[in-house]
């Protein structure tokens, strides 16, 4: 048994070869305490270590459970975040959304940020790490908040976590509200891996996938957003135009859409222009 044969276990289960070799590297780094450099230099793995990697690869191939849940962590904006099946796995695309928000925060000297539906806490923690702001983060799930709190502690960042169904337990105003809410339209056929993620973090109960954008804009604008404050969302494929309309209908200005690395509109931001 060698590394190529382990990659082959994943490829035979239908995982793309590039993805499969990336995942086997992740298993080696995590379970064998190897650095990426050890792997590049071909430092040999002893039989026992190879056996562990093989077992984990077999688990991945048989169940199609995401590799991040098998390892128990996921890399996001320069840090490892603990994850389990109570929280969505942080996505590369979300880094674009966080960077988009960080630019707005810095350009406007903002001080108070709210993250809605924080899950693993990755957005809130990254903002707290890379900007000098007070971050409050809410989620409806206590088990998600438990992981989010652990992540904030591990990274040494201060975030105020609150159990709240959107704004239900919030009673102050913020300069910027950010959210990566559930946005996959009900009934969408998705890959097997997504079956392991919390379904209420992925799917909306209606067909546009836009219910949470609408709610957050309409419920948030008057009571929870300061004048000249911004809302920043992660959006799914082909949702940016509808979300733009919601913003316009509610008097927002300076609407900006930013594409991700796959050139899909992914981040949308807008500014509240009036005082209320």
> Which residues contribute to the site for ligand GLN (CB under 6 A)?
91, 180, 182-184, 194, 202
Indicate the residue among 6 and 217 with the shorter CB distance to ligand GLN: 217
> Any residues with CB less than 8 A from the CB of 170 and at least 6 apart, and which?
114, 136, 138, 162, 164, 224
The span from the CA of 28 to the CA of 35, in Å, is: 8
Local structure of residue 141 (DSSP, 8 states): -
Please give the structure tokens belonging to residue 24. Answer: 């086997």
Could you tell me the smallest distance in angstroms from the CB atom of residue 229 to ligand GLN? 22
Indicate the residue among 182 and 229 with the shorter CB distance to ligand GLN: 182
Please give the structure tokens belonging to residue 137. Answer: 């983060």
Could you tell me the smallest distance in angstroms from the CB atom of residue 132 to ligand GLN? 27
Could you tell me the smallest distance in angstroms from the CB atom of residue 228 to ligand GLN? 27
The span from the CA of 90 to the CA of 203, in Å, is: 16
Indicate the residue among 202 and 255 with the shorter CB distance to ligand GLN: 202
Please give the structure tokens belonging to residue 162. Answer: 């609150």
Please give the structure tokens belonging to residue 97. Answer: 């959304």
Could you tell me the smallest distance in angstroms from the CB atom of residue 157 to ligand GLN? 22
Could you tell me the smallest distance in angstroms from the CB atom of residue 57 to ligand GLN? 23
Indicate the residue among 195 and 251 with the shorter CB distance to ligand GLN: 195
Residue facing ligand GLN at closest CB distance? 183
Sign for the CA dihedral angle at 216, 218, 220, 221 comes to positive
Indicate the residue among 129 and 266 with the shorter CB distance to ligand GLN: 266
């Amino acid at each position: 048994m060698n590394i190529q044969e382990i990659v082959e276990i994943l490829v035979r289960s239908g995982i793309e070869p590039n993805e499969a070799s990336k995942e086997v590297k992740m298993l080696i780094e995590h379970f064998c305490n190897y650095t990426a450099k050890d792997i590049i230099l071909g430092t040999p793995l002893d039989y026992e270590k190879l056996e562990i990697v093989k077992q984990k690869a077999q688990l991945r191939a048989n169940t199609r459970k995401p590799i991040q849940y098998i390892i128990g962590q996921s890399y996001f904006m320069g840090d490892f975040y603990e994850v389990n099946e109570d929280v969505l796995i942080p996505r590369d695309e979300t880094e674009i959304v966080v960077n988009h928000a960080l630019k707005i925060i810095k350009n406007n000297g903002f001080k108070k940020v709210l993250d809605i539906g924080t899950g693993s806490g990755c957005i809130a923690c990254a903002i707290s790490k890379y900007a000098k702001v007070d971050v409050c983060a809410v989620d409806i799930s206590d088990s998600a908040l438990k992981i989010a709190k652990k992540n904030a502690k591990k990274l040494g960042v201060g975030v105020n976590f609150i159990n709240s169904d959107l704004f239900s337990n919030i009673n102050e105003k913020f300069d910027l509200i950010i959210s990566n809410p559930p946005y996959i339209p009900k009934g969408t056929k998705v890959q097997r891996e997504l079956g392991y993620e919390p379904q209420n973090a992925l799917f909306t109960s209606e067909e546009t996938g836009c219910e949470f954008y609408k709610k957050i804009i309409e419920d948030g604008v008057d009571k929870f957003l300061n004048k000249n404050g911004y809302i920043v969302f992660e959006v799914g494929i082909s949702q940016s135009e509808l979300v733009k309309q919601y913003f316009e209908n509610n008097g927002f200005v300076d609407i900006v859409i930013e594409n991700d690395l796959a050139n899909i509109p992914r981040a949308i931001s807008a500014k509240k222009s009036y005082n209320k």
